[in-house]
Structure 1
Amino acid sequence: MSSDGLIADFAHDDRDIDRILILNESEYGRASPNPSTDVVSTRASFTWRRDQNPAGQAIIPVIRNHFGDVVGFFWLIPMRIRAQEKNYVAATGANLVIAPEGRRTFGYTKLMRNFTNALRDTKTVLHFSFVSEENYKRLRAENSNRTFTVPLLLKPLEYGTLVKCHLKTEWQRFLANKARWILEPLFFRRPSLLGDTDVSVQMLDQFDESFDDFWNRVQDKYRAIVIRDQAFLKWRFTAVSARRYHILVARSPDKMLGYSVIRCANVRGIPTGLILDLLLLDSNQGEEAGVCLTAHAEAFFRSQKMSLIAALMVPGSAEYRVLRLLGCRNLGSVFSPRPFRFAFFVHREDLKSLSVKDWFVTLADFESL
C-alpha cells in the first residue's frame, strides 16, 4: 500500500460500476457545481459505452482507497480511425473523474500511469482526447502540432431568450434591446433553401446500409478521422439517457451526398439545436447538399423553439464553410459552455507525420453529447 493509501487497478465488478456511477453523478449531476450532459449516468449507458462499441470493449483504469472503493477513473475507449488512407484501432480517453479524497494526492499520477500502461498493453497506435485548459497549455508548450482548439460555431435563432439568459442586469438588457435592430439582421436571418436543385433531404429513423457505401466514398477526404460507417453511427447515436437523435440525409437521384445528425438540448438554460455530425461528399454537389442539410436542420430547430444552433467543426473543412455560409459564427466564449481543446498522441512511427491540420472533428467525437 502506498503512503496515500491509493492503489491503481481496473474496474471489474458490479460494485465498481456502482461507484463509478455515483462519482459520475457527483461530478456531473444536477446537484453538481458544474452540471453536464455526460451520458454515463445509468447502468444502461454504462453498458452501452463499455460493451457495445463495435471497435471493442472499453477499459476503465481506476484508483482505489484502502477500503477497495473506486475513488477515481478514466475511460479508455477503442476507436477505429482512418489515417493516411489506412484503417487502425486507436482509442480516446474520456470522462476523467477523481473524488475529493483522491485529489491533492498522487492519485492523478497513478491513474494516468495506469492509463498509459493500458495503452501500451493494448498496442494502441494513437489516442486522442478533449483535454482540460491546464493540460492544453502544457501540451501546446511541448508540441503545438499535437493539440488545437476546435471552434464551436453558433447561430442565434431567438433574440429575447438569449438576452434573458446571458444578460443579468437591467441596463445590459436595455442596451441589448436597443441594439436589436442592428444585430437581428446579422445573426438571426433565416436561410433560403436552394430553389433549382436535384438534392432531396429526408429524415430517417435509423442508419441503414447506404451509410457504409457513403463512408467508402468519403473515407479519404481527410487524413485523420474516426471511421463513420454504419456500425459506428448506430453505436454512437444510440438513444441512451433519454436522448433523441434525428438523422438527416441528402441524396441526389442516384446516391447519398451527405448526412447530418442533430438533437435538441438544454445547454446552460438555453434551448439549443446541436448539429452533432455533418459529413459531405467531396464535391461541389456535396457542398450543395450541406447547404440543404443545414437549412433543414435550422428549420427543424425553429419548429422546436430552439434559441441557438451549435456545431463543433474544424476550420478549413468544406463542412465548416457550409456552416459559415448559413450564418454560424465562432463567437468565442459569448455562448460557448467551454473551449473544446483537442489533443492527439501518436504511438506508432508511421503516424508521426500527422498534424493538427489533418483532423476532422465534430461533436460526434466528443464523448458526452
Structure 2
Amino acid sequence: MLKSIDEAVGKQGEPGAGPHSSKQVRIMPFQIRHRQQVYELYGKIFSERSRVGFEARWEWGRENDLFFDGGAKWVLVDNDRVVGFLNTVPLAYRIGGTTLTAHTPADYMVDPEYRFYGLQLMHQFFRTCANCVSADDVPSTIKVTEWLGAKRAGRLVGYVKVLDGRALRQHERLNRVPLLAQWLLTGALGLRDTVRLAGRNALHVEPLREFDRRLEKFFLRISQRAPAMPVRDLRFLQWRYGPTSPHPTREIAVVTDGGGNLLGYVVFHLSVETHRGLILDLLALPEAGVEVPISLMRYAVKRLRAEGAWTVRYFASPGAMPVPDLRRLGFIRRGDFVLSVKFADPGIQTIATRPGAWNYSFGDSEASHAFI
C-alpha cells in the first residue's frame, strides 16, 4: 500500500508505471493554445452533447467569473497532446464570521488510457489551493479528495419527482412501457398533484425577473444563523444565474412579508431538450416558518409541469426543506452529493466540518453547471 500521496504520484511517473510510461507525460499550466484540445477531450470522455454545453459555458465559468482570472487550471500533456485537464472555481465563503476564498476542482478529465497519471492533477490542485470546497457524487473522486486531506462536511440529499409518464423513456429498464400506459400514468400523477400541490395555507409567491437589492439584507440575515455558507450576495447571484451563465432561462420566485422584505426565494430551471426540471436554489429564513419553502417548492413544481418538465430534481442541504413535506409533495430519494472541505486555518476547518454547519445549495456547486 502507498504511504503518501507523494509516493503515489511519484510511482506514476517512474519507468514501467503504466501502459504509457515510455511517453513524455507531464503536467503544466493551461495555456489558451490548449483550449481546443480540452474541448475535444471533454467530448471524448463525456459526450458530444456535453461538449457543446462545456464550450458554451467556458467564457462564463473560466474567464468572466467573480475573480476575473478564471482560477488556476492545468493540463496533462503527452508531448504536445492534451490527455488531461483540471480547472478551479474560486468563490468567496463566510465561515464563522470570516470571509475568505476557497477553490473548487472543476471539469476534471483524463483520457482513459492515461488514467494512471490523473492523480497528478488533483495533487497539483491541493498543493496550489490552500482552501477547498467540493461537492461530488462519484465515489472514486470523493475517495481521492479525502485521501488528499479534505473532510466530509455534509451531504446534498437527492430527490426526484416524476411529473409525466414519458419520463419512463429515460429509464433503461422501463423505456419499453406502452405509450397508452405512459398517458395513463401522466393523468394519474396530475390528479394526485392537484391535491398535493393545492396547499390550504399556501403563501403568495411572486415571480421575479432579476435579483434585486433586497437580497443583500436577506443574505445578512441568513449568514447570522449559518456558521458556513457561500457569499450569496447580489453580485454572486447575478453572475451565477445571469444571461451568460449555464442557466440563462432560469426562473426566480420569492415570498415576501408585508413590508416587501424577502422571506425566501427559489431558482429553478427546465432543460427543454431532456424535459428535466431542476431546483437550483431554495432558501428561506428559518424564523419565517416551514410554509415558506413549501410554498416556493409548490410554485416551482407547478411552473415546471406547465412548461413541459417530465421530472424535477432537487438536492437538499440539511434544514433546507423538511423531509416529510418533500415526501408529501411526491419526491422520492435518488442520489446524493457529498460536500468535502479543506481549510488551511485549523479553526476555520473545525467550524466547516461541524455537523449541520453548512447552508449550501446545489446551485452553489460546480457540479450544477453541467445540469443543462
- TM-score, normalised to structure 2's length? 0.79
Structure 1 match to 2:118: 108
| 1:157 and 2:163 matched | yes
Cα separation, partners in 2 of 1:53 and 1:97, compared to 1, 3 Å: same
Q: Would you say the 8 A contact 1:281–1:287 is kept in 2?
A: no
Q: 2:94 aligns with which of 57, 82, 97?
A: 82
1:134 matched to 2:140? The reply is yes
Aligned to 1:28: 46
Match of 2:265 in 1: 259
CA 154–78 in structure 1, closer or farther in 2 if over 3 Å, else same: same
C-alpha deviation, 1:22, in angstroms: 2.1
Identify the structure with the greater helix proportion.
2
Q: 1:222 Cα shift?
A: 2.4
**Displacement after TM superposition at 1:38 (Å):** 8.2
C-alpha contact 2:134 2:365 (8 A) present in aligned 1: no
**Relative to structure 1, is the Cα distance of residues 135 and 231 closer, same or farther in structure 2, using a 3 angstrom cutoff?**
same
Q: Using the alignment, how far apart are the partners of 1:170 and 1:70 within structure 2?
A: 38
Aligned to 1:336: none
Output the CA distance in 1 between the equivalents of 2:295 and 2:305: 15
Residue 117 of structure 1 deviates from its aligned partner by: 2.5
Deviations 1:94-150 (A, max 9, x none): 11011245x144x2132122212221xxxx334324252124356679999616542
Query: Is residue 340 from structure 1 mapped to residue 337 from structure 2 by the alignment?
Result: yes
Specify every segment of 5 or more residues in structure 2 that has no aligned partner in the other structure, as ranges.
1-12, 15-21
C-alpha separation in 1, matches of 2:327 and 2:333: 15
The CA distance in 1 between the partners of 2:47 and 2:172, in whole Å, is 25
Aligned twin of 1:40: 54
1:48 and 1:145 map into 2 onto residues whose CA distance is 29
Identity %: 20
Partner of 1:212: 216
Mapped partners of 2:258, 2:42: distance in 1: 47
Is the 8 Å Cα contact of residues 10 and 62 (structure 1) preserved in structure 2? yes
Q: Which residue of 59, 74, 85 corresponds with 1:61?
A: 74
For 1:311, give the aligned amino acid.
Y
> Is the CA contact 1:55–1:80 (under 8 Å) kept in the aligned structure 2?
no
Secondary structure of the 1:64 match is strand
- Distance, in Å, in 2 between the alignment partners of 1:352 and 1:136 is 18
Counterpart for residue 245 of structure 1: 250
SS in 2 for 1:258: strand
Number of residue-to-residue matches in the alignment: 344
TM-score normalized with structure 1 length? 0.79
Shift of 1:74: 1.0
Residues 95 and 250 of structure 1, relative CA distance in 2, 3 Å threshold? same
Which runs of 5 or more structure 1 residues have no equivalent in the other structure? Answer: 334-338
User: RMSD in angstroms over aligned alpha carbons?
Assistant: 3.6
Contact 1:74-1:94 at 8 Å conserved across structures: yes
Distance 1:170 1:203 in 2: 35
CA 1:61/1:355 → structure 2, altered by over 3 Å: closer, same or farther?
A: farther
In the aligned structure 2, how far is the partner of 1:137 from the partner of 1:12? 29
Matched, 1:277 2:281: yes
Residues 1:313 and 2:328 are matched in the alignment? no
2:28 matches 1:16: no
2:24 aligned residue: 5
Could you list the per-position Cα deviations for residues 268-327 of structure 1 after superposition, in whole angstroms to 9, with x for gaps in the alignment? x5x2221100110121x253222221111111112112122211112x404344861651
**Letter of the 2:167 counterpart:** L
